[in-house]
Amino acid sequence: MSAIIDVRNLTKTFGAFAAVKDVSFEVEAGGIFAFLGPNGAGKSTTIKMLTTVLRPTSGTIRIDGFDPVTQSHQVRRSFGIVFQDPSLDDMLTARENMDFHGVLYDISRAARRERIEQLLNFVELWDRRNSLVRDFSGGMKRRLEIARGLMHHPKIIFLDEPTLGLDPQTRNHMWQYLQELNAKNGTTVFFTTHYMEEAERIARRIAVIDRGTIIASGSADELKTQTKTESLEDAFLTLTGHSIREEEGTNLDRMRRIRGMMR
């Protein structure tokens, strides 16, 4: 099997802090790959570099054979992504957010109409299609974001903690949809999650990253054998320890306050 994602000696430093240190891994085409790790382990930083929005300090990346730094346009054509944090326009309606995405990804008008209806029904937001996203709850926004990420059918789909805050129904729906897409179109799925049972059930390959370094990789069974544990959750805890990690906050809250004052 050929690797559709090929990462070699990838490093990203912010000042003196190394968020990702000499990371190497491969994801085979058509695979379902889980990238696991505690908060602040370097998962999102790695995904940002794979998806062209952050330049690596050193190391090489190939996405479908292309380099995200020098061939960003080709790389962008080959993947879709559901981000960890919100990326919707709250002054647009649900349908307009979907349509915006569809146009950027060059989906024909007819296909857009069909998929928007199908996917909004799928995340149970079709009745709210003409409401501004501003009026949505956190869970609704998350569902809309999932629907939008599934709208075009790229070779690789990245999902950064997609199921965070989703109810079990939507979560199951989403995985079912992704597994179908994987089986039918051979779409490579790359995801991160904190739900270990999810990773165990869905992923065919797993890599565990901690403090910027990959500390284990293999199938769920291999990781369990390696750590002599019964479940992936235990294997994960054995590998990464039991202490709780702190993640740096963003200044989003401050921005929200400023915006409130300006309006």
- Residues of this chain that interact with another protein (CB under 8 A) are 48, 51-55, 72-73, 76-77, 79, 81, 83, 85-92, 96, 99-101, 103-106, 132, 251-252, 255, 258-259, 263
CA 46, CA 161: separation in Å to the nearest integer?
13
Between vectors from CA 101 to CA 28 and to CA 71, what angle results, nearest 5°? 50
Nearer to another protein, 184 or 263 (CB): 263
- CB 238, min distance to another protein, A: 34
Identify the CA nearest to 68 among candidates 148, 149, 7: 7
**Beta carbon nearer to another protein, 144 or 209:** 144
Task: Name which of 88 and 196 has its Cβ closer to another protein.
Answer: 88
Q: How far is the CB of 248 from another protein (least distance, A)?
A: 15
Smallest distance from the beta carbon of 235 to another protein, in angstroms?
A: 32
CA atoms within 13 A on the CB side of 84: 14
Residue whose CB is less far from another protein, 242 or 259: 259
158 or 236: whose CB is closer to another protein? 158
Beta carbon of residue 258, minimum distance to another protein (angstroms, whole number): 6
Strands (E), the chain: 3-14, 17-28, 32-36, 58-63, 79-82, 156-160, 188-192, 205-210, 213-218
Shortest Cβ distance from residue 136 to another protein (Å)?
A: 14
How many CA atoms lie within 13 Å of 188's alpha carbon, on the beta-carbon side?
Answer: 22
Least distance from C-beta 106 to another protein, angstroms? Answer: 7
Distance CA 249, CA 247 (A): 6
Cβ(19)–Cβ(13) under 8 Å? Answer: yes
CA distance 72 to 113: 29
Is residue 162 within 8 Å of residue 189, measured between CB atoms? Answer: no
- Using the minimum distance from each CB to another protein, give the nearer residue, 47 or 239: 47
